[in-house]
Amino acid sequence: MMSMPRCLRICGGNDSLRGTDAMPATTMIDAIRDALDVALTDDPTVTVFGQDVGYFGGVFRCTAGLQKKHGIDRCFDTPISELGIVGVAIGMAAYGRKPVVEIQFADYMYPAYDQIVSEAARLRYRTAGEFTCPIVIRMPTGGGIFGAQTHSQSPEALFTHVTGLKVVMPSNPIDAKGLLLSAIDDPDPVIFLEPKRLYNGPFDGHHDRPVSPWRTHPMGEAPLGRYLVPLGQAAIRRKGAALTVLAYGTMVHVALAAVEETAIDAEVIDLRTLLPLDLETIVASVRKTGRCVVVHEATLTSGFGAELAALVQAECFWHLHAPVERVAGWDTPYPHTNEWDYFPGPARVAAACRRVLEVQ
Amino acid sequence: MKPVERPLELFFAEPAVRPGAEPDFSGLDLPAAGSLRRPPVDSPAEEMRDMAFGLIRLLDDDGQAVGPWADTLDLDDAARMSGLRHMMTLRAYDARMLLAQRQQKTSFYMQHLGEEAISCAFHLALRSGDMNFPTYRQAGLLIASGYPMATMMCQVYGNDGDPVRGRQLPVFYSSKSHGFFSISGNLGTQYVQAVGWAMGSALSGDDKIAAAWIGDGSTAESDFHAALVFASGYRVPVVLNIVNNQWAISTFQGLARGGAGTFAARGLGFGIPALRVDGNDYLAVVAAARWASERARRSLGPTLIEYVTYRVAGHSTSDDPSAYRPSGESACWPLGDPLMRLKQHLIARGLWSEDRHVQAEAEIMGEVQAAQKEAEQIGTLHSGRRPSPAEMFNDVYAEMPPHLRRQRQLAGY
């Protein structure tokens, strides 16, 4: 069956602003907007800015209505300069405000990379705490929307390799809101990666099936008001005894689908925060199951999965019955036409799980 | 018939002369002191475009301060005399630290020789709470604001008295209380951060302004352009300083400047008023900096200032300028020595004398040496008390995450 290409959702028609005021958020977009709304309401130093985030409300609508509600000095548009957005945020944070900025696509962050790596991540260190950089950089991440190589990348490993940063990737609306509020409260710079394929519904990798909405998912409705999901804590999404699957973002749903469809009794762990990593939860699970599959959408070589595999090997060596397997995007740029051949869908995850289980 | 086309070719900008040739500054157009007008600070940017191509100079060849910028300069005799003292202190400080580097008490040093006026004078345009985002050649901001010299030396030595715990290269000072943001070696990054800091101040309803600093060479960095876009777009209360000291290590300023007439003219395309100033004229720097800071304080927006000066010494202790420019070039620099020019002005004003100058030099060197003794009692890079290696793991995050704690334990701390 041919899949219907999904366009980049540049213009959202629905600005009913779920996730603000009375109605609980029922998409990840609404949950993120709700978190920003709560932060803007509770903390007068929180300042939201980025390309198209002000009047228009962001190309993915994550800031829709915030300028109108909180004023142009709290939520505003910027010129198209990722370097400028992040550089300005660093200065503003050094002054004492809390900038929460949006990079329109994670793929666009490279002009800001020097400011993130050499400046934001090290300001506390190089001044022995005199100047700090409590900023949040939000970035839509990952593929699944026919965005090709400039709208699909998952650059998390480029951030987890940078000491001084925290790196977060939620997999559902409830976590997205609670993690974003924790990120905004955090005294250090946080890279907040939003899997854009999950914005409007959970996605298990079956691109040829109808899209399911968040409202029918147990993690789909983010409660009203302020609540926190702490950084550095993984969540076990499925208890199991046969093997452990480590995943984050979109791949949590893909992994769950893969193990359900193959009836493998896997424990699926949603890392939620990549740095600092909840090693304790990972190690406890792998020591129990003795087998581990690491899944991410980003390219394989030097990906975050390599770090996970190394840690599991070092911490669980005497408990392992099989080599740790990695399932990842191929080491190619993210293609346009062949997106679903690139994407590590449930079949590839299931195959890796079977291979790991075959080793006696 | 088709005309004969030649293969395409590029232009490679080169300085007028190289080592072995006679220095040549004939390309530097020098208007007479006092000849430039002083527009009202709230003039529309398009009516001040000429200011980007002139050169604001107050001190004439006889040491008299002349012209409209001098006539409106509110600077009493005591302040003029402290200006000289600050420059003399910075020069003596540099001399001692250069020597300390040669004695291997530290790894690296960068001096200000010839550029002392700019940072020492700029301080007078700021108030307590304002913030500089400096490069590595604005230590005059610290000296002029009374920051303890011994603490500066502790930073250069990276000893146990170093406020930044031996984590940064020598001369990469940081002091929030003295309005001196942490220096970055990446060049240019601070320019856009200064704009963000000033935006933060304005968004908070504060009255503090920021000053950004960059060198002629680093204006080629994207950070410079991003800073100008944001500064002009939001009319940010920031003073954007460019120190044009002619040389970016071995690269002459013409390469980064391209075909533009001046670095100041870079501001015009952004609608930012721009001044070009004799950077070796202490009074000109004060006058221009105050004009720009007044614009910032009145929410009239940013001002770009190019200070024309000359880097007399090497880029750093790792540099030998005789390899790329005539050795006698600094002596021929037409804007002279900033220290001598202010000294001449004070003498002409009846405030100073050769004898008092010699006496002050000795006094200042005594102060610098006393500070050095104090710093060295704590230690130098290779001896004495140094920050504990355990501190290497601190301040990466506000709270040390588990993986870093494990690494610290592994390292034996």
Instruction: Please check whether residue A20 lies inside any domain of the structure.
Output: no
B95 and B212 both lie in a single domain: yes
> Is residue A8, in this structure, part of any structural domain at all?
no
Nearest to B246 by CA among B330, B341, B317, B186: B330
Average pLDDT of span B40-45: 97
Residue labelled with tokens 């044009």: B244
Per-residue model confidence as pLDDT tens for chain A (360 residues): 333 333 333 333 344 455 555 688 889 999 999 999 999 999 999 999 999 999 999 999 999 999 999 999 999 999 999 999 999 999 999 999 999 999 999 999 999 999 999 999 999 999 999 999 999 999 999 999 999 999 999 999 999 999 999 999 999 999 999 999 999 999 999 999 999 999 999 999 999 999 999 999 999 999 999 999 999 999 999 999 999 999 999 999 999 999 999 999 999 999 999 999 999 999 999 999 999 999 999 999 999 999 999 999 999 999 999 999 999 999 999 999 999 999 999 999 999 999 999 998
A119 touches chain B (CB under 8 A): yes
Residues B100 and B143 occupy one common structural domain = yes
Whether residue B223 sits in one domain with residue B91: yes
Q: Which of A88, A92, A119, A130 to mutate to test the interface with B (most CBs of B within 10 A)?
A: A88
What is the model's pLDDT at position A18? 58
Residue in chain A closest to B198 (alpha carbons) equals A92
Same domain for A210 and A269? no
pLDDT of residue A360: 87
DSSP state string for A96-162 = T-EEEEE-SSGGG-GGGHHIIIIIGGGHHHHTTTSS----EEEEEE--SSS-GGGS----HHHHHTS
In a domain, A37, yes or no: yes
Q: Which residues of A242-274 are buried (b: 16+ CB within 10 A; e: fewer)?
A: bbbbbbbbbbbbbbbbbbeebebebbbbbbbbb
> Is residue B340 located within the same domain as residue B395?
no
Q: Identify which of B209, B183, B214 has the alpha carbon closest to the alpha carbon of residue B198.
A: B209
Chain position carrying tokens 């013409």: B254
Partners of residue B304 on adjacent β-strands: B240, B274
B222 touches chain A (CB under 8 A): yes
φ, ψ of residue A273 in degrees (nearest 5): -115, 125
Same domain, A161 and A293: no
Same domain flag for A51 and A165: yes
Whether residue A188 lies within 8 A of chain B, CB to CB, comes out as yes
Q: State the Cα–Cα distance between residues B59 and A170, nearest whole angstrom.
A: 63
For the ranges B14-28, B154-168, B368-382, the lowest mean pLDDT is seen at B14-28
Q: Is the ipTM of this complex over 0.85?
A: yes
CB contact (8 A) between residue A87 and residue B396: no
Give me the residue label for tokens 């003039």: B43
DSSP summary character for residue B391: G
Domain containing A194 equals 28-216
Residues in CB range of B350: below 8 A, 6 or more apart: none
Q: Work out the mean pLDDT of chain B and round it to a whole number.
A: 97
* Residue A6 maps to a domain: no
List, as ranges, residues 372-411 from B with C-beta within 8 Å of A. 394-399, 401-404
B37 falls within a domain: no
Q: What is the CATH number of the domain that holds A273?
A: 3.40.50.920
Task: Give me the domain span that covers residue B53.
Answer: 45-313+332-382
- Catalytic machinery residues of A: 151
In chain B, how many domains are there? Answer: 2
How do residues B285-296 score in pLDDT, each as one tens digit? 999 999 999 999
Q: Is residue B321 part of a domain?
A: no
CATH code where residue A196 lies: 3.40.50.970
Q: How many structural domains comprise chain A?
A: 2
Residue A77 maps to a domain: yes
Residues B300 and B394 grouped into a single domain: no
In total, the C-beta contacts within 8 angstroms joining chain A to chain B are: 142
Instruction: Please indicate, yes or no, whether residues B167 and B150 belong to a single structural domain of this protein.
Output: yes
Q: Does some domain include residue A22? A: no
Question: Is residue A211 located within the same domain as residue A277?
Answer: no
Whether residues B193 and B163 share a domain: the answer is yes
For residue B330, what pLDDT is reported?
93
Candidates A79, A83, A91; nearest CB to B200: A91
**Residues B159 and B301 reside in one and the same domain:** yes
The partner residue sitting opposite A95, judged by closest CB among B192, B200, B404, is B200
CA-nearest of B144, B67, B157 to B104 is B157
Query: Is there a domain that residue B81 lies in?
Result: yes
**Looking at the domain assignment, is residue B2 inside a domain?**
no
Say if residue A252 is in the same domain as residue A180.
Answer: no
Q: Do B63 and B178 share a domain, yes or no?
A: yes
Are B80 and B204 within one domain?
A: yes
- Among A96, A131, A164, the residue with its CB nearest the CB of B397 is A164
Q: Which two tokens stand for residue B399?
A: 């709270």
Is residue A252 less than 8 Å (CB to CB) from chain B? Answer: no
Do residue B259 and residue B406 come from a single domain? Answer: no
Coil, strand, or helix at residue A88?
helix
Does one domain contain both A204 and A164? yes
Q: How many angstroms separate the CA of residue B199 from the nearest CA in chain A?
A: 7
Select the residue of B193, B394, B395 nearest A91 (Cβ to Cβ).
B193
Q: Is the pLDDT of residue B254 over 80?
A: yes
Q: Take residue B173 and report the two structure tokens written for it.
A: 């000072």
Q: Are residues A206 and A245 in the same domain?
A: no
The verdict on a CB contact (< 8 Å) between B398 and A97 is no
Task: Tell me which chain A residue has its CA closest to the CA of residue B132.
Answer: A91
Say if the Cβ atoms of A125 and B167 lie within 8 Å.
Answer: yes
Owner of token pair 């749903």: A253
Are residues A131 and B182, on separate chains, in Cβ contact within 8 Å? yes
Q: Is residue A289 situated within a structural domain?
A: yes
Is the pLDDT reported for residue B228 higher than 70? yes
Same domain for A40 and A188: yes
Supply the pLDDT for residue A19.
58
Phi, psi dihedrals of residue B255, rounded to the nearest 5°: -70, -45
Spell out which residues of chain B touch residue A128, defining contact as CB-CB under 8 Å: 163-165, 167, 394-395
Single out the residue in A165, A188, A216 at which a domain terminates. A216
Q: Is residue B20 part of a domain?
A: no
A145 touches chain B (CB under 8 A): no
Residue B1 confidence class, pLDDT cut points 50, 70, 90: low
Residues A248 and A340 reside in one and the same domain: yes
A225 has a chain B CB within 8 A of its CB: no
Which residues in A lie closer than 8 A to residue B164 (C-beta atoms)?
A: 126-128, 130
Whether residue A295 contacts residue A303, with contact meaning beta carbons closer than 8 Å, is answered with no
Indicate the residue among A216, A248, A264 that finishes a domain. A216
B133 lies within 8 A of chain A by CB: yes
B186, closest residue in chain A (CA to CA)? A118
Cβ proximity of A162 and A137 under 8 Å = no
Same-domain pairing of B252 and B396: no
CATH number of domain containing B244 = 3.40.50.970
- Specify if A221 maps to a domain: no
Say which amino acid occupies A325: E
In chain B, whose CA is at the least distance from the CA of A124?
A: B395
Are A160 and A307 spatial neighbours (Cβ–Cβ below 8 Å)? yes
**Do residue A150 and residue A284 come from a single domain?**
no
- Chain A hits for B168, CB-CB cut-off 8 Å, are 126
Q: Are residues A201 and A85 in the same domain?
A: yes
B25 domain-assigned: no
If asked whether residues A204 and A312 sit together in one domain, one would say no
